[in-house]
Amino acid sequence: MPTTWIVTRHAGAIDWLKTRGIEGQQRDHLDTSLVSQGDTVIGTLPVNLAAEICAKQATYLHLSLTVPFAWRGKELTSEQMDRYGAALTAYHVQIMSNAIF
């Protein structure tokens, strides 16, 4: 059975997902070796980790919102996340090449 991984340390994000009926294995940090084909990973991950997830044929859902500068670095509630346009967007990320400078 596929696993849903929720990668966040923010209680407001977990609450926001729960209000949408989304629950899963919550982690502050994700060891990508735990992810399997068919799993879903939800979070705001660095592009290299998103590429690793997609290479395993798992789904990456990016949790995004537009936070005003004054609110950056502060904990948000589920309601505040709605106010700032929180959304889940599926991305397929793959490595195209390694640049050498």
- 87-91/59-64 β-pairing: antiparallel
pLDDT digits (tens, 9 = 90+) for 2-50: 999 999 999 999 999 999 999 999 999 999 999 999 999 999 999 999 9
Angle ∠(87,90,91) on CA atoms, nearest 5: 125
* CA dihedral of residues 48, 96, 38, 30 (deg, nearest 10): -10
Q: CA-to-CA distance for 101 and 82, rounded, in angstroms?
A: 41
pTM: 0.92
Please tell me the predicted confidence (pLDDT) of residue 36.
Answer: 98
Q: Other CB atoms closer than 10 Å to residue 76's CB: what's the count?
A: 20
